Amino acid sequence: MMSATGGARRRSGTAVGLGLATLYLSLVVLVPLATVAWRSTSHGTDSFWHSVTTPEALAALRLTMGAAAIVVVVNVVMGSLIAWILVRDDFIGKRLVDTLIDLPFALPTIVAGLVLVSLYGPTSPLGINLAYARSGVLVALLFTTLPFVVRTVQPVLLEMDGEMEQAAASLGASRLTIFRRIVLPNLYPGIAAGAALAFARASSEFGATVLISGNIPFKTQVASVHIFGLIESDNATGAAAVSTVLLVIALLVLLALDVAQRWAVRRG
């Protein structure tokens, strides 16, 4: 765009800006992450496989993936429900509840961990003790991933002004049919995006799980904590190997998110 000389100036501006941005991104993010992947196989692929298939690593990865999957399912249901209530329902203090949803984003993870220990730990005033148990890990992950689905479904619901549902009702559809055949299909892209983000967060969470889980190997130790332990014991190569597995999962999740978003765009 712009005139011929302006265009040339603009293109060189683009190049300089892009160069600086790429440098920043590389120094902080790309080079370090690439080094993790490179380091994980620096002692050969055998040592990579050995590191990621130690019983402890396998147990940690299995727990991480399983817990993330469960948490995503719960928060897809609860998140959609909360989004629905925030958009379609009217009650006193709605604005407050809407604000509160973002609390897990704003609250430092270690504080979240402490908060959950004080409520669901050994000194729980509710008498529920989930500390050092897998259910404790689940609660911590439910907490940190709560906002994702709510925040991706909410805007979609806000945009659906009810005309489609009214049209369906006028065509004789029951409320259940309307929900199943009209509302839900429109929410899928939002739910998918929220689920992908929640899964990425849950599978990588560290701070919130540290205090409540007790980090017992084979029982409550998630992958991040396992990696932390390997770093502490100066096993950088082993830590890099398990990290690479997490990174690959993160990349797959981002890819899935991109697909979900383009799906949403195509559906307009």
Partner 1 sequence: MAISVRHLSKRFGTFAALDDVSVEIPTGQLTALLGPSGGGKSTLLRIIAGLEAPDSGQVEIGGLDATSLPPQRRNVGFVFQHYAAFKHMSVRKNVAFGLEIRKRPKAEVQRRVDELLELVHLEQFGDRLPAQLSGGQRQRMALARALAVEPNVLLLDEPFGALDAQVRKELRVWLRRLHDEVHVTTVFVTHDQEEAMEVADEIVVINHGRVEQVGTPDELYDQPASAFVMGFLGPVTKLGGRMVRPHDLELTDQPAPGAQAATVLRVTRLGFEVRVDVKVGDEEVWVQLTRGEAAKLSLKPGDSVFVMDAGKEIAG
Partner 2 sequence: MRIVAFGYLGLLLVLPLGLVGLRTFEHGVSPVLHALSQPNAVHALQVTVVIAVIAVIGNTVFGVGVAVLIVRHTFPGKRLFSALVDLPLAVSPVVTGLALILVYGPTTSLGAWLGRHGVHVIFALPGMVLATIFVSLPLVVREIVPVLEEIGTDQEQAAWTLGASARQAFSRVTLPAIRWALAYGVVLTLARGLGEYGAVAVVSGRLVGKTQTANLFVEERFQNFDQPSAYAMAFVLASIAVTVLLAINLLRPADEA
- Tokens matching residue 103: 């609390």
Cα 81 to Cα 150: distance, rounded to the nearest angstrom = 8
Q: Which helix (H) or strand (E) holds 94?
A: helix 94-100
Asked if 224 interacts with partner 2 (CB under 8 A), we say yes
Comparison of 74 and 160: residue with beta carbon closer to partner 2: 74
Query: Please, which of residues 69-128 interact with partner 2 by CB under 8 A?
Result: 78, 81-82, 84-85, 89, 91, 95, 97-119, 125-126
Binding partner of 220, given partner 2, partner 1, none, CB within 5-8 angstroms per partner class: none
Comparison of 172 and 241: residue with beta carbon closer to partner 2: 241
- Alpha carbon separation from 15 to 10, 21, 31 (Å, rounded): 9, 10, 20
Handedness of CA 48, 70, 99, 114 (dihedral sign): negative
Handedness of CA 10, 31, 245, 197 (dihedral sign): negative
Q: Which of 143, 153, 168, 178 binds partner 2 (CB under 8 A)?
A: 143
Binding partner of 254, given partner 2, partner 1, none, CB within 5-8 angstroms per partner class: partner 2
Asked if 6 interacts with partner 1 (CB under 8 A), we say yes
Comparison of 7 and 122: residue with beta carbon closer to partner 1: 7
- Alpha carbon separation from 203 to 29, 93, 103, 223, 228 (Å, rounded): 19, 33, 20, 8, 14
- Residue 260 sits at the vertex; the CA angle it makes with 259 and 265, to the nearest 5 degrees, is 95
Binding partner of 170, given partner 1, partner 2, none, CB within 5-8 angstroms per partner class: none
Binding partner of 4, given partner 2, partner 1, none, CB within 5-8 angstroms per partner class: partner 1
- Residue 84 sits at the vertex; the CA angle it makes with 78 and 88, to the nearest 5 degrees, is 155
Binding partner of 25, given partner 1, partner 2, none, CB within 5-8 angstroms per partner class: partner 2
DSSP three-state, residue 268: coil
Q: Which of 5, 90, 92, 161 binds partner 1 (CB under 8 A)?
A: 5
Asked if 66 interacts with partner 2 (CB under 8 A), we say no
Which stretch, 3-11, 50-58, 149-157, 252-260, contacts partner 1 (CB under 8 A)? Answer: 3-11
Comparison of 120 and 168: residue with beta carbon closer to partner 2: 120
Cα 180 to Cα 174: distance, rounded to the nearest angstrom = 10
Query: Please, which of residues 173-202 interact with partner 2 by CB under 8 A?
Result: 197, 200-201
Cα 55 to Cα 50: distance, rounded to the nearest angstrom = 10
In the complex, minimum distance from the CB of residue 174 to partner 2, in angstroms, rounded to a whole number: 18
- Contacting residues toward partner 1, per CB under 8 A: 1-7
